[in-house]
Each structure stands twice: as C-alpha cells, then as structure tokens.
A and B are shown apart, each in its own frame.
Chain A
Amino acid sequence: MSRDLAQRVLQGERRALARALSLVENDAPEGEALLEALFPHTGRAHLVGFTGPPGVGKSTLVARLARYFRREAPSPRTVGILAVDPTSPFTGGALLGDRIRMRDLAGDPGVFIRSMASRGAVGGLARNTAAAAQVLDAAGFDLVFIETVGAGQAEVEIARLAHTVVVVQAPGLGDEIQALKAGILEIADILVVNKADRPGAQQLARTLENWLGRRTPKGEGPDDASPASASNTPWIPPVLLVTATQGEGIPQIAQSLKEHAAHLKRTGAWQERERRRFESELRERVLLTFWRRWETRAKQLGLSQLLERILKREISPQRAAETLLRQMWSDQETKG
C-alpha cells in the first residue's frame, strides 16, 4: 500500500503527497516504509531554512520569495514550503497561521504549503520536519523552504537540516546587542534585514556587517567550525536590506541562494552538510529506538525495585543505570 502511495508521491499527485506528509508527521508505521521507498529519489532539492525572531516577517518573506521563483525568475522553479509553528505545551494544541501571509500562492500547482506544529520538539522545528522535507524533495520540488518557529537565540536546529540558512532580522526589536547575542546569527548563510523601509534598518544592517567582518578575517577566524566556512574558501554571508511586503530586495535573496548553492557544491560543503545531517538523523533514530525499547522493558527489568533501593541509598543511580543497561545488552545478545 505504501509502495503504491510512494509511486503516487513520485508522480507528484497532491492528495498522495498530503497523505504522505501526515503519515510521516504522525510517526505512522506506513510512514517509515514510505520514507524508505522515497529515499532513493531524494537529494535533488535545495533545502532553505528561514529563521528569526517572531514578527520579523518570515512568512511574508517566504511567500514573496516563492512567488518570485514561480513568476518572476528567469527560469521558474517549483517550491515546497514547510511552515512550523509552536505547539502549546499546556494543551498540545496549535494555531498555525502562516498561510494567512501566503494567500498569493493559491492555485499554483508548482507550490505546496504545509503547516506543521512543533509537537513538543525544541529547537524551532518539529521532530519530523526533516522527514517531511525529504517527502517534498522526493515529490520533485526544486526548492524546499522551511520556516521555523519564531526563534530567539538558541533555536538552531535548522542549521542541521538546511543547505542554506536565511536569518531574518528587523529593526526595532531591541538594541543592537540583542541582535548580536543571538546564537542564530552564527548559523546565517544569508542575513536579511526585513522591513527596510522602517527607521533603524540601515543601522542594523551596518551593525551586522561589522559583526560579520570581525568574525571572518579571511580564513583565520575563530569560526572555522561554523557551517559557512566548512571548506577553505570562506563564504561571507551577505547582509540584504529587504522590504518583503513591497517585494523589494527579493531578487537579491534569490541571487544569493543561487550563489550559496553553487559555493557549497564547488567547495564540497554541500556533501559535508548532508553527511552531518544524516549523521544526526542516524543518531536520533538509534536513540529513539533505544528509548522505545527501554520504555517497554524498564518495568520488566525491575525499575521500581531499583528506585526503592536508590531511595534507601542502597545503590547509586549510576550503579542502577549500569545494572539496567547490562540487562538490556544481554537481552540483545540472547536475541541476536
């Protein structure tokens, strides 16, 4: 059945694509099989992340950029969009409102927009956003735009998923130190100062330029570990002034995306980023499997008795953990 669904996704059937995204998002068993069937067909899309504080205009920017690639660019490209909004930690519900800003894209078969709730994941994405991006990639979208939860200073998961990270800032959100201390600046491949028609935009752009200048003194900076300089030729993130509501500066972002993709491919950083992404995906999958097995086995292994003994100070948590792990490993061996 899922093989069938995979076929239909590959043929670009939109209802099948929507179902596939749900299966993957919900951790359904069919979703796993589906991802496996689709995987050989992934790796063609340019994955672009958009992050930045709430209210800087990420959705509007994403919508305008998608529109540019569809209708204005010299050669049109198809765009899949994943828009992540936060799940309430109290009710488990979510209000997903990014589509409000994307109504311009309605009716275009070269665009597919999907809203995702973060469902308890931290870091600005949902746990299955990477898998959803793979589905859109397999479905043949040239570009996959991933808009994170309105991120502050530490939500940097997107750097592991995307080939290119666009960090969006806007004037008037606090003094310039606020912008500089944000960890998200360090993951930027392209910096956008949106709402450039507002006072303070020029100054914010200059501040960012200066900060970048100090940060990348031609290859010898303290930032050799940063994704942007993963090869010997450093990529210096451009700072672009944009007024997304007017479409001003949008072609420049498109141009920078193109240049960045070319840079990544030329320097081998494209491969390196993918390797890093798959490494963390692998790790997460293994941990998740361990975690699930642990949850089913813990009770049988006498967790509550061990807890009692810890409470009485008869055994330390470290020793208790060792005991449990040894038992789980021996499970493994008798099975294998």
Chain B
Amino acid sequence: MTERKIRVLIAKPGLDGHDRGAKIVARALRDAGMEVIYTGIRQTPEMIAEAALQEDVDVVGLSILSGAHMTLVPQVLEKLREAGMDHVLVLVGGIIPPEDVPKLREMGVYKVYGPGTPTRQIVEDIRRAVLGESQTQPEPMA
C-alpha cells in the first residue's frame, strides 16, 4: 500500500527573474506524475536547502540563466550537505557554457540541461536515477 511519489523541488537561485523555463519543467514533471514543489524566483542557497529538507524531496532542480552558476551551484550543494540532504539528485538547467558542464558534474550535479532539452529526457533521467536507485538500495534513514 506504500505510495511512492517522486518529489522534486524546482528553484531559481540568484537574481535573474526569468522563470519561464523553470515553470515549463515544473509542469512537465507534474504531468509525468511527480509532485513538484515550486518555490519561485530569487531563492538563496539557504532557502533552497531548507525547502529541500522540509519537503523531503528526491530531486532539486536549479534553473539559472544569470551566468552565476559557478558561484551559486557550489553554494547550494554546500548548504544541502550541511542540511544532511546530500543524497538528493541535483539537476541544473539554463544557459551553461559547455566548458562548465564537466566542472558542475564534478561538484556533484547529476545532469546539466541546456535550452531546447526535451522535457521527456528530464523525466526519464529522474525516473531512472530515483526509482532505479531506490530498488537496489533503500534510502538510508539519515
């Protein structure tokens, strides 16, 4: 009877107010049967980590179009670690120069999505990572 729903936090860290992409992704994930917590624009790394903890999400999706990803992403990851949420899958979407992608992945970002990514691909990546992993290895009660 256990109902397992994938929970995703969609947040926009930093100061740019372009939330169209974030909203499109949020809607696509909802339509794929996920529970999407949408926090809106201008979130600090602390706010994102706090919301991820309170909502006990499986995935944090960050939308960044300001070019500040190399500063913001490590801060969010750090705050997630401090909150004991380092097991969540972190995805980054936005305008990310190709040379930054490997650096972000090295920091611990699972996938980076540029403009034009089919939302279907994001859905599939999340399903594979979250459900696939939880089948082989139950989530630890951190």
Contacts and interface: CB of A to CB of B under 8 A. Distances in A.
Interface of A: 1, 4-5, 14-15, 18-19, 21-22, 26-29, 87-88, 91-97, 99-100, 103, 106-107, 112-115, 117, 119, 292
**Interface-central residue, B27, B29, B46, B56, by most chain A CB under 10 Å:** B56
B47 interface: yes
Nearest to A295: B1
Give the top 6 A-B pairs by smallest Cβ distance, nearest first. A93-B30, A100-B40, A18-B56, A92-B33, A106-B47, A22-B56
Interface on chain A toward B: helix, strand, loop, or mixed SS?
mixed
B138 to A, nearest CB: 11
Contacts of A106: 44, 46-47, 50-51
Contacts of B142: 15, 19
B41 to A, nearest CB: 9
Nearest to A16: B141
Interface residues of B, number: 34
B56 A95 contact: no
B39 A95 contact: no
10 contacts: A27-B1, A29-B2, A94-B30, A94-B36, A96-B37, A97-B38, A99-B40, A106-B50, A113-B54, A119-B3
Contact of A93 (B31, B50, B53, B56): B31
A96 B56 contact: no
B30 A88 contact: yes
B141 A19 contact: yes
Contacts, number: 93
Contacts of B36: 93-96
Contact of A91 (B30, B50, B84): B30
A18 B1 contact: no
Contacts of B2: 26-29
Nearest to A108: B50
A96 B35 CA distance: 7
Interface in B22-68: 26-27, 29-40, 43-44, 46-47, 50-51, 53-56
Contact of B55 (A5, A107, A114, A292): A114
Nearest to A13: B84
Given A14-B54, A15-B142, A27-B1, A93 B29 contact: yes
A18 B55 contact: yes
B20 interface: no
